[in-house]
Amino acid sequence: HNRYGNNDDKTSLASEFQDFERSNIRLKSLLGEGNFGQVWKAEADDLSGHFGATRIVAVKTIRACSAQVSLKDEANIMRKLGSHQNVVTLLGACVESEPHMLIMEYAMRGRLLSLLRAARSATNILPASVPGGRSLAPLSPRTLAGFALDIACGMEYIAGRRIVHRDLAARNVLLDHNGMCKICDFGMSIDLDAERLRKEQEKNAANDLMRHNAHKFKFDFGSRYILQHWQHTFGQGQGQGNCSKDHPHGEKKSHHGHDTIGKRHALPIRWMAPESLQYHMFTTETDIWAFGIVLWEIATLGSTPYSQLTGREVIRRVPQGLRPDLPKESRHEFYNLMSRCWHKEPHMRPSFAQSRLEITRSLHKWVDDDS
């Protein structure tokens, strides 16, 4: 069984999408700021065929001083994801010319992490619930389980489209007007199909180059050896299954400095599985690990994992078996689910579909218990 779903997908690396007309965007207010970019609340006219209509959107931009950073990969991943109720939808992009911009659906309730932390103090005013939407005030165990279910659904969809998110955390989950969770921020994500295609192309190029240069080798003592050497050097996408061999070791992003602690664009160390911390492997199973940490964030109303430890200590101790303290507040079902998400063996962790089923079952049980 292949957890990544369909292997036969042929994905084109070329983008066949047209850039959105910049003059149709008006930036209104700053929503947030990251290492390289900003997210703005904005108005956009004539989006995707809706001529004459204006829509409130969120626009991600790159700051002028970090012009070397591209939003193209992120746009391609969001385009591949298309539309799902638990994933932030891309409505348009300006990536053929600088400065790059991504135009996304606007999620008016903001980040899940902020909502969880606001709920800690009774004096904080939580947004009122909307008729037909989810009740956000107060955050009942059922509301919290609803968040977990939304995130499992969104991640099941993302994993099924052969995308590894790599930065799943409560800070990267937004809430819409109905209190529905939407996964966002694909800036670190990997498209497994695009990676496989890239590796195949590199392998073919390496083989062509070797064939072209074959006459330079006086003795045919090792064409086989040389081929192996080339294939070793350039890698070959031989993996088909659910193991992580066919997985990039973060090469795509290494020029952003992700692989070094303390650089500008830091890795999400406290959300990372042991194999990511040790070997820089990122798979759907490492996204499941992060999902377990998100369950923990929900149960603790936005605590920071291993808050007593430094990043370096986390990198050393998680591979030795350290796990976040199980929160006293959370119901037994979620203890169990989150600890299985943190199994040392990646293939022993539950899938997103399994997690979705388990959360749905608990929700039904609570409804039955309450009635």
Q: Which stretch binds ligand ADE (CB under 6 A): 21-29, 31-39, 311-319, 324-332?
A: 31-39
Q: How far is CA 43 from CA 27, 59, 98, 182, 322, in A?
A: 7, 9, 20, 20, 46
Select 55 or 280, whichever has its Cβ closest to ligand ADE.
55
Separation of CA 105 from chain center: 17
- Taking the complex as a whole, the smallest distance from the CB of residue 20 to ligand ADE amounts, in Å, to 15
Select 56 or 261, whichever has its Cβ closest to ligand ADE.
56
DSSP H stretches of helix in the chain: 72-81, 112-118, 141-160, 192-212, 223-234, 274-279, 284-299, 311-317, 332-341, 352-370
Residue 93 in contact with ligand ADE, rule: CB under 6 A: no
Binding characters for ligand ADE, 156-175, by CB under 6 A (x = yes):
------------------x-
- Taking the complex as a whole, the smallest distance from the CB of residue 268 to ligand ADE amounts, in Å, to 16
- Taking the complex as a whole, the smallest distance from the CB of residue 29 to ligand ADE amounts, in Å, to 11
Separation of CA 174 from chain center: 13
60 appears as a binding residue in the annotation:
yes
- Taking the complex as a whole, the smallest distance from the CB of residue 330 to ligand ADE amounts, in Å, to 27
What is the Rg, in whole angstroms, of the alpha carbon atoms belonging to the chain? 22
Residue 311 in contact with ligand ADE, rule: CB under 6 A: no
The whole-angstrom separation of Cα 163 and Cα 157 is 9
Select 37 or 324, whichever has its Cβ closest to ligand ADE.
37
Query: Could you say which of 104, 119, 151, 338 contacts ligand ADE (CB under 6 A)?
Result: 104
Query: Could you say which of 25, 39, 295, 338 contacts ligand ADE (CB under 6 A)?
Result: 39
Residue 88 in contact with ligand ADE, rule: CB under 6 A: yes
Select 89 or 339, whichever has its Cβ closest to ligand ADE.
89
- Taking the complex as a whole, the smallest distance from the CB of residue 310 to ligand ADE amounts, in Å, to 28
Asked if residues 42 and 52 have their Cβ atoms less than 8 Å apart, the reply is: no
The whole-angstrom separation of Cα 293 and Cα 342 is 8
The token duo for 84 is 């799902």
- CA dihedral (309, 337, 288, 4) in degrees, to 10, reads 170
Residue 271, C-beta contacts closer than 8 angstroms, at least 6 positions apart: 167, 168, 169, 289, 290, 293, 294, 305
User: By CB under 6 A, what part of segment 181-210 binds ligand ADE?
Assistant: 184
Q: Which stretch binds ligand ADE (CB under 6 A): 11-19, 101-109, 145-153, 335-343?
A: 101-109
Nearest CA to 206 out of 195, 214, 217 is that of 214
3-state secondary structure (DSSP) of residue 31? strand
Residue 87 in contact with ligand ADE, rule: CB under 6 A: no
Select 39 or 281, whichever has its Cβ closest to ligand ADE.
39
Select 174 or 337, whichever has its Cβ closest to ligand ADE.
174
Element containing residue 40 per DSSP (H, E) = strand 37-45
Q: Which residues bind ligand ADE (CB under 6 A)?
A: 31-32, 39, 58, 88, 104, 106-107, 110, 174, 184
